[in-house]
Amino acid sequence: MIRTLTIRRPDDWHLHLRDGAMLQGVLPESARHFARALVMPNLVPPVVTGADAAAYRDRIRAALPPGMAFDPRMTLYLTEATDPDDLAAAHASGLVTAVKLYPAGATTNSQSGVRDFDRIRPVLDRMADIGLPLCVHGEVTDPAIDIFDREAVFIDRVLDPIRRATPGLRVVMEHITTVEGVAYARSGGDDLAATITTHHLILNRNHILSGGIRPHYYCLPVAKRETHRLALRRAATSGEARFFLGTDSAPHVDALKEAACGCAGCFTATNTMQILAQVFEDESALDRLEGFTSLHGAAFYRLPPNAGTLTLTRGEPARWPERIVTGAGPVTVFDPGITVNWHVAG
């Protein structure tokens, strides 16, 4: 049995760091294990321009505790008013690694997102020209569509038409949750990839709703039925380069999760690597963990893998704090509900 595993230092290609006191509180949780992260732009107000991204990157760097290294890779929040020249300049200077598409109303702080996809045509054409990837929150917002079907319907109604109309556009399907998402990701060439979260490898919809409602398991896209979770586990552990880790670790203070109308998001920064090592061991795929967490995403974003390493060791059941204390309030750490025997060394 493998007891020690040393891999290239991992990257998190989908992370919510927030701002202010919350940023200060959660940043060390990611920086402890991850060298880089693609930082989501859904602040209030959102990170829309190159200048916004530069200022946010400075705030992240300033919040990093002394002695910790972390490279925040910035994203812009795509709106119907995004200026293609500003976006191209932010990309050319190396400031911005990707652009995020939120359908308006799909999730937390998405009100400034896109309503009419025709209005972003010129921006998408420019992104295809310059090779700037589009990260997509893939859910329709049509209230007539059942929430469990919103990803599959988005692929047919929005994503596939966009990709057909914009040849060469590099796309990441963010946090896929369905058999359909896995299949569509596989239908593309090396211009198409998909991130998978830690929590969607663990949760199905029963975990959220059976035996009591579990607000800390509520996220978007919402976890689906078991067949979908199993398809995600097969995809993540397949070794296919199109699938890589984006945790979507999304901190909300407990008061806003444990509420009559609770916020969406699972906070997994603290224990993602330990949980993933357990998942990959359970799937007899420990040799593929490094690809998923440390190689495939960097290759898609045309960056070298990290020089450093991370060592995981197998031992007694792992423990972590139930919640972390931030200046904004307590944030509950994701409870996978399984025994995790993996630890991050050091």
114 belongs to the binding site for ligand DOR (CB under 6 A): no
Q: Which is nearer to ligand DOR, 19 or 71 (CB)?
A: 19
Least separation, in Å, of the C-beta of 52 and ligand DOR?
17
Interface with ligand DOR (CB under 6 A), residue from 7, 158, 172, 220: 220
Which DSSP letter does residue 248 get? -
Which lies closer to ligand DOR via its Cβ, residue 264 or residue 344?
Answer: 264
Binding partner of 38, given Zn ion, ligand DOR, none, CB within 5-8 angstroms per partner class:
none
Q: Could you say whether residue 12 binds Zn ion (CB under 5 A)? A: no
240/248 with CB nearer Zn ion? 248
Distance CA 262, CA 323 (A): 17
**Vertex 48, ends 44 and 52: CA angle to 5°?**
80
Place of tokens 């300049």: 89
Verify binding: residue 151, Zn ion, rule CB under 5 A.
Answer: no
The only residue of 24, 75, 107, 112 in contact with ligand DOR, by rule CB under 6 A: 107
Candidates 58, 118, 248, 282; catalytic one: 248
DSSP string over 227-243: HHHHHHHHHHTS--TTE
Active site residue 248: yes
Residues 233-262 contacting Zn ion, CB under 5 A: 248
Rounded to whole angstroms, the Cα distance separating 173 from 187 reads 12
Q: Are strands 36-39 and 11-15 parallel, antiparallel or unpaired?
A: parallel
Q: Where are the alpha helices (DSSP H) in the chain?
A: 20-31, 50-63, 84-92, 121-130, 150-154, 160-165, 179-187, 199-202, 205-209, 226-236, 254-257, 272-282, 289-290, 296-300
Annotated catalytic residues are 248
Binding residues vs ligand DOR (CB under 6 A)? 16, 42, 107-108, 137, 219-220, 248, 250, 264-265
- Binding residues for Zn ion, per CB under 5 A? 248
